[in-house]
């Protein structure tokens, strides 16, 4: 069979050159890898050895497009590695990751190539480049200097070796977490073991049991749609503890999939790499290209939130603890109790149960809801297509067009349900970024991947409110990718500073916290009746419930991330567990449990690109709280504000510094107190 990954530049005859997933097998990736790699090497050598003086076109632009085929092969692979990875596909990471690192080193440590780039950078004032051309030159030059171009030959060899090792560790971490997630399950057969659980959770657990070959009972797993209802509603405290401990100790001291050595080696190599490049720590290296420019600024930012949230968090904890005692808990409140009793407290305080919302959030309606929001705000239409190849039957595909002109905007993939071949969580990715591709500017192919509540035999997929927020969040990322209008892929769409990339995603969550946004799509799956105003009012009244506690939880992760990546060495670390215990002391509300560990499943920072960047979520919350205040002042579907957000944020990629783009949208810098006001931590 012909390898579709080698049929390039004419990849397929499908709409807009869509990837022919159904024709691709794991073997095809390794078959295509070497020829695509050699083609990239040849292109780079041609640029490096040109006799002509360097120009933007023959050097910077040529480099931007030199490894397109290789990026197509590896980009497709790594997206499948996260979303649809058989064991056979997972095993390929140990060969594909080092090859990617090898190509990167070949480019960035190439003296001839850098000499051409540097000549252009040194004479940039004479070149009179503007807009995307000027930004691409800057990004290219910094990419070289920040990745070893100025090192001596011996240090370049060392850097290349480090990059090769790091390239293997990231997929290994991810693979261990996935295996740990899939290893655990609870098969329960007694009705007393599942008392308190909502009907939807029981139905899903029954179907999971049947799928695993059990004739009766229920199966619960560590996938979020199964885990969260159990920890939130199950009366059986012993079983809550069992599933919580499994979740809290994934890939920690588990034979064959223990991530502790992966963490220590990753952190050590990152620190060595940063120091080789002239930075004190990995955090200093990363933050040089962030809105928060230094570790000191990150800590100042986190400490400001901590000071506002500390008392509130302790009060939240104490309130749940006292309520648990009122309900008969005669033991110390434990982590496996908190979600359970806090849910009961919320129901008592606000006469409100989030499960009352679920019948109004049928997945199909919520999907149409995000599309309708995109139409109202940004003049987009979404049309489902059945002729686009998929990598799994659950995936849905859509053609996106401008509702005013009919112009084609993007191809959109959506993958909603958990499976054993998909990592946990939710994310947005691109199979093709917007920009130059195969000789002309092409529109993007964007995907969102989630792990939502699956439909059962009796009911469609009915989402929790958190899942609705997640869908809007990832769709915000997708809009950032789809609406890009920048010429070059490396600076288009979501290829921006990571403490800015969360603004388009997090601002979208705001619409589902307001009646006007909910009324667009929230209707009962049986009666079609809209979400009652009474329920919306209760939801809004409970919006800041546990705001202090939730802020402290996010701060805990942010401080932990910074602690790992502000190290100069791991030599003084006795154990991953002790390090985590010491660095999270001030943000912990429960006693430290040495049998559990967050770091070992902290995929964001050890397998997801957020190293020294987890603070970005809180940073972007400040931006989104301030930005949404602008919408609130003018109407949440105000076309003028939406147009300014679209034209200054969503379409601009990395064309200008985020601070400049934000000021163009808002007319001023963000108000740092906007988040604290929204969370009720300071007066409005």
Exposure string (b/e) for 301-340, b if CB count within 10 Å is 16 or more? Answer: bbebbbebbbebbeebbebbbebbeeeebeeebbbbbbbb
> Scanning the structure block, which residue is given the tokens 């990150």?
298
HEC assignment per residue over 91-133 = HCHHHHHHHHHHHHHHHHCCHHHHHHHHHHHHCHHHHCCCHHH
In degrees and rounded to multiples of 5, residue 525 shows phi and psi of -70, -20
Nearest-5° Cα angle at 402, 397 to 404: 145
Closest-CA residue to 626 (of 665, 667, 675)? 675
Q: How far apart are CA 379 and CA 366, in angstroms?
A: 18
Q: How far apart are CA 155 and CA 636, in angstroms?
A: 54
Q: How far apart are CA 71 and CA 295, in angstroms?
A: 32
Exposure string (b/e) for 32-60, b if CB count within 10 Å is 16 or more? Answer: bbebbbebbbebbeebbeeeeebebeebb
Q: How far apart are CA 304 and CA 318, in angstroms?
A: 22
C-alpha distance from residue 486 to each of 56, 448, 493, 662 (Å): 17, 21, 8, 17
Q: Which of 355, 474, 502, 621 is catalytic?
A: 474
Q: What is the DSSP letter of 452?
A: P
Paired with 398 in beta bridges are 384, 412
Closest-CA residue to 384 (of 370, 396, 375)? 396
Three-class secondary structure of residue 498 per DSSP: coil
Question: Peptide bond preceding 683: is omega within 30 degrees of 0, i.e. cis?
Answer: no
Are the beta carbons of 568 and 279 closer than 8 angstroms?
no
Q: At what angle do helices 260-276 and 153-183 cross, to 10 degrees?
A: 160
CB-count burial class (<10 Å; 0-12, 13-18, 19+) for 196: middle
Instruction: Annotate 568-631 with DSSP letters as a single string.
Output: S-STT---HHHHHHHHTGGG--S---TT--SGGG-HHHHTSS-TTTTTHHHHHHHHHHHHHHHH
Neighbours of 658 (CB within 10 A): 19
Closest-CA residue to 118 (of 104, 102, 138)? 138
Residue 91 contacts by C-beta under 8 Å, 6 or more apart in sequence? none
Are the beta carbons of 536 and 669 closer than 8 angstroms?
no
Q: At what angle do helices 335-350 and 237-248 cross, to 10 degrees?
A: 120
474 is catalytic: yes
Q: How far apart are CA 286 and CA 292, in angstroms?
A: 10
Q: How far apart are CA 361 and CA 416, in angstroms?
A: 14
Residues annotated as part of the active site: 474
């Amino acid at each position: 069979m012909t390898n579709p990954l080698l049929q390039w530049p004419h990849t397929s005859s499908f709409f807009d050159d869509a990837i022919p997933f159904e024709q691709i097998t794991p073997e095809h990736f390794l078959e295509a890898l070497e020829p695509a790699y050699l083609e990239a090497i040849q292109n780079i050598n041609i640029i490096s050895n040109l006799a002509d003086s360097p120009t933007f076109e023959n050097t910077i632009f040529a480099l931007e497009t030199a490894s397109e085929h290789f990026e197509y092969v590896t980009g497709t692979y790594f997206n499948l590695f996260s979303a649809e990875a058989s064991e056979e596909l997972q095993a390929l990471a140990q060969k594909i990751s080092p090859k990617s690192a090898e190509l990167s080193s070949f480019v960035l440590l190439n003296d001839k190539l850098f000499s051409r780039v540097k000549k252009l950078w040194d004479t940039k004032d004479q070149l009179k480049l503007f807009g995307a051309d000027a930004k691409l030159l800057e990004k290219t030059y910094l990419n070289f200097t920040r990745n070893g171009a100025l090192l001596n030959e011996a240090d370049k060899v060392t850097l290349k070796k480090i990059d090769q090792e790091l390239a293997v560790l990231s997929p290994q971490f991810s693979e261990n977490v996935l295996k740990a997630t899939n290893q655990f399950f609870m098969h329960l057969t007694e009705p007393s073991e599942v008392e308190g659980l909502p009907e939807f959770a029981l139905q899903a657990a029954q179907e999971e049991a049947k799928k695993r070959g059990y004739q009766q009972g229920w199966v619960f797993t560590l996938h979020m749609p199964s885990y969260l209802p159990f920890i939130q509603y199950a009366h059986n405290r012993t079983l809550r503890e069992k599933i919580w401990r499994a979740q809290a100790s994934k890939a920690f001291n588990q034979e064959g999939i223990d991530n502790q050595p992966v963490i220590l080696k990753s952190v050590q190599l990152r620190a060595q790499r940063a120091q080789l490049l002239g930075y004190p720590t990995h955090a200093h290296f990363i933050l040089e290209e962030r809105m928060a420019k230094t570790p000191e600024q990150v800590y100042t930012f986190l400490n400001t939130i901590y000071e506002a949230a500390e008392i509130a968090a302790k009060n939240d904890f104490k309130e749940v603890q006292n309520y648990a005692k009122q309900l008969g808990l005669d033991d110390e409140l434990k982590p496996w109790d908190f979600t359970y009793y806090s849910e009961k407290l919320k129901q008592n305080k606000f006469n409100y149960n989030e499960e009352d919302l679920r019948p109004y959030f049928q997945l199909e309606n919520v999907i149409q809801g995000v599309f309708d929001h995109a139409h109202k705000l940004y003049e987009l239409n979404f049309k489902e297509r059945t002729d686009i190849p998929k990598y799994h039957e659950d995936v849905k595909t859509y053609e996106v067009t401008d509702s005013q002109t009919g112009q084609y905007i993007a191809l959109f993939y959506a993958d909603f349900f958990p499976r054993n071949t998909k990592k946990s969580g939710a994310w947005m990715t691109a199979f093709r970024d917007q920009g130059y591709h195969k000789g002309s500017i092409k529109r993007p192919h964007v995907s969102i991947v989630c792990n939502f509540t699956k439909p059962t035999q009796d009911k469609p997929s009915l989402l929790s409110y958190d899942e609705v927020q997640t869908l809007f969040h990832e769709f915000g990322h997708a809009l950032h990718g789809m609406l890009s209008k920048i010429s070059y892929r490396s600076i288009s769409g979501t290829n921006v500073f990571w403490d800015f990339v969360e603004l388009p995603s997090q601002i979208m969550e705001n619409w589902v916290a307001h009646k006007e946004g909910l009324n667009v799509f929230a209707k009962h799956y049986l009666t079609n009746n809209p979400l009652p105003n009474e329920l919306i009012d209760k939801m809004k009244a409970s919006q800041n419930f546990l705001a202090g506690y939730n802020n402290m939880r996010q701060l805990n992760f942010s401080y932990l991330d910074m602690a790992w990546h502000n190290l100069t060495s791991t030599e003084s670390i006795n154990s991953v567990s002790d390090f985590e215990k010491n660095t999270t002391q001030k943000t912990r509300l429960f006693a430290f449990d040495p049998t559990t560990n967050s770091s070992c499943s902290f995929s964001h920072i050890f397998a997801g690109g957020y190293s020294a960047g987890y603070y970005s979520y809180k940073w972007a919350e400040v931006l989104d709280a301030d930005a949404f205040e602008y919408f609130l002042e003018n109407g949440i579907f105000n076309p003028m504000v939406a147009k300014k957000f679209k034209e200054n944020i969503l379409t601009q990629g990395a064309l200008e510094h985020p601070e400049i783009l934000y000021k163009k949208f808002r007319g001023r810098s963000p108000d740092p107190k906007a988040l604290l006001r929204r969370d009720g931590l300071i007066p409005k």
